[in-house]
Amino acid sequence: MKIEVLGSGCAKCKILEERVREAVKKAGLDATVEHVYDMDKIIATGVLGTPALVVDGNVKFSGRLPNVDELVSILKSE
């Protein structure tokens, strides 16, 4: 599983990355987590608001900061 956190590096983007890493560990998933800072790449996904989460090329949400349990649910549904 490839997980991408999209964001410019703002506080919310960093928090999302930390929560995603915690959710991956909590769910026991085999996944790589990458933080994408490049605005051209972010725009190419069609995301208009950050932070955003992309799992295996599919945008799961943007413009909000879910808690760890919600992230576990999102990731397990993949």
Percentage of residues of the chain with pLDDT beyond 90? 95
**Given the residues 2, 8, 9, 10, the one annotated as active site:** 10
Instruction: Please indicate whether residue 21 is annotated as part of the active site.
Output: no
Q: How confident is the model at residue 78 (pLDDT cuts 50, 70, 90)?
A: confident
Q: What is the mean pLDDT of residues 48-56?
A: 95
Domain ranges of the chain: 2-76
Task: Give the CATH number of domain 2-76; options: 3.40.30.10, 3.50.30.40, 3.40.190.80, 3.40.50.300.
Answer: 3.40.30.10
pLDDT at 33: 98
Calculated CA dihedral for residues 67, 51, 14, 17, nearest 10 degrees: 60
Q: Are 63 and 18 a contacting pair, CB within 8 Å?
A: no
- What's the predicted TM-score (pTM) here? 0.93
Give the H/E segment covering residue 62: strand 58-62
Peptide bond into 51 cis (omega under 30): yes
**CB-CB contact of 6 with 42 (8 Å):** yes
Which of 5, 13, 23, 72 is catalytic? The answer is: 13
At what angle are helices 68-76 and 11-27 packed, to 10 degrees?
60
31 is catalytic: no
